[in-house]
Each structure stands twice: as structure tokens, then as C-alpha cells.
């Protein structure tokens, strides 16, 4: 762990770096799932979903960057390569055999809900550890994930 003048104890910093890297892995993997849907979507809603999935991916890039940078700010190393993310992600693998737009939406709904849930758990962990800044970062990510989950679910609710 790198030295820093941030006034969190080394124990809290280590715990938060681990937590941040876990969320980084999950969020990075979610990004790759979203791009998989973007590239492979077919059907009558193609253009709308293709654009939506790209917008979702762009938002995830910002979350990924913020999470990784927070890990480094508090003295850690961001574990953000594709291989690192894949090795540590808790998401189930994205099905490679789907093309239908609504099938992609359903697959993404499951994955966005899973990452939103673990992000809320991360808020609680960071808050309990006394790292209000990391908790705030996860709160911002959580609000965004919930918004995008709403956008996705609107396609399958009725």
C-alpha cells in the first residue's frame, strides 16, 4: 500500500481498497456485458436498444473510472484489466447465444440488479468502516445503476 496523508487508518484503507477493487471488477464486467448486448442486439427495437446499451456503457465507464481512482487515492492499486475483472467478478457469464433485443434487456436487468445490490452493500460497508467518501462514491454509483435499471425494466414491464 502506498503512503498517503489521507486520514484513514491503514486497516480501513486496506479494507476499502479491497472493497473498491471488488466493485471495480463487477462494474467493469457489467460494462463488458452491456457492450456485448450493444454489439449483438437484433430485432424490431434494434436502433433504440443499440443506442440505449451504448448510453448505459458510457455511464459505466465513468463509474469504473471513479471507483478505480478512489482505490488509488487511498494508497491502493486499481485492479482493472479485463483479465483481473473477469477473474474477480461475481456476475454470471453473459449468454453468447442471444440476439433478440428483449432477451438482451432481460439479461442486463439481472446483471444491473446484481451490481446495484452489491453496490448498496458496499455503501454500508464503507460507512461502517468510517470512510464517508467511499460510501458517497458508492451512493452516486448506486443511484445511477438504479436509474439505468429502471430504463431497462421499462422495456419488459407492462
Structural domain boundaries in the chain: 10-88+97-153
CB 42 within 8 Å of CB 99: yes
pTM: 0.96
CA-nearest of 30, 87, 86 to 57 is 30
Q: Is 121 helix (H, G, I), strand (E, B) or coil?
A: helix
**pLDDT band, residue 77 (cuts 50/70/90):** very high
Cα separation, 137 vs 123, in Å, equals 8
Dmax over CA atoms of the chain, in Å, equals 55
**Contact, 137 vs 67, CB < 8 A?**
yes
CATH of range 10-88+97-153; options 3.90.700.10, 3.40.50.150, 1.20.1260.10, 1.10.3720.10: 1.20.1260.10
Q: CA 119 → CA 5, 24, 54, 74, 126, distances in Å? A: 27, 10, 21, 19, 10
- Cβ atoms 41, 53 nearer than 8 A: yes
Segment 120-145 shows an average pLDDT of: 98
pLDDT band at 1 (very low <50, low <70, confident <90, very high): confident
pLDDT at 81 over 90: yes
pLDDT per residue as tens digits for the range 39-51: 999 999 999 999 9
Amino acid at each position: 500500500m502506498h503512503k498517503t496523508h489521507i486520514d484513514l487508518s491503514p486497516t480501513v484503507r486496506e479494507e476499502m481498497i479491497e472493497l473498491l477493487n471488488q466493485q471495480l471488477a463487477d462494474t467493469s464486467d457489467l460494462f463488458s456485458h452491456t457492450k456485448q448486448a450493444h454489439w449483438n442486439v437484433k430485432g424490431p427495437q434494434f436502433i433504440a436498444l443499440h443506442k440505449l446499451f451504448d448510453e448505459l456503457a458510457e455511464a459505466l465507464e465513468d463509474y469504473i473510472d471513479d471507483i478505480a481512482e478512489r482505490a488509488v487515492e487511498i494508497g491502493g492499486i486499481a485492479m482493472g484489466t479485463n483479465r483481473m475483472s473477469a477473474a474477480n467478478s461475481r456476475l454470471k457469464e453473459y449468454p453468447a447465444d442471444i440476439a433478440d433485443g428483449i432477451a438482451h434487456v432481460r439479461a442486463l436487468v439481472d446483471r444491473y440488479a446484481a451490481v446495484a445490490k452489491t453496490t448498496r452493500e458496499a455503501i454500508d460497508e464503507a460507512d461502517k468502516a468510517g470512510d464517508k467518501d467511499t460510501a458517497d462514491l458508492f451512493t452516486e454509483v448506486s443511484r445511477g445503476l438504479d436509474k439505468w435499471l429502471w430504463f431497462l425494466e421499462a422495456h419488459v414491464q407492462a
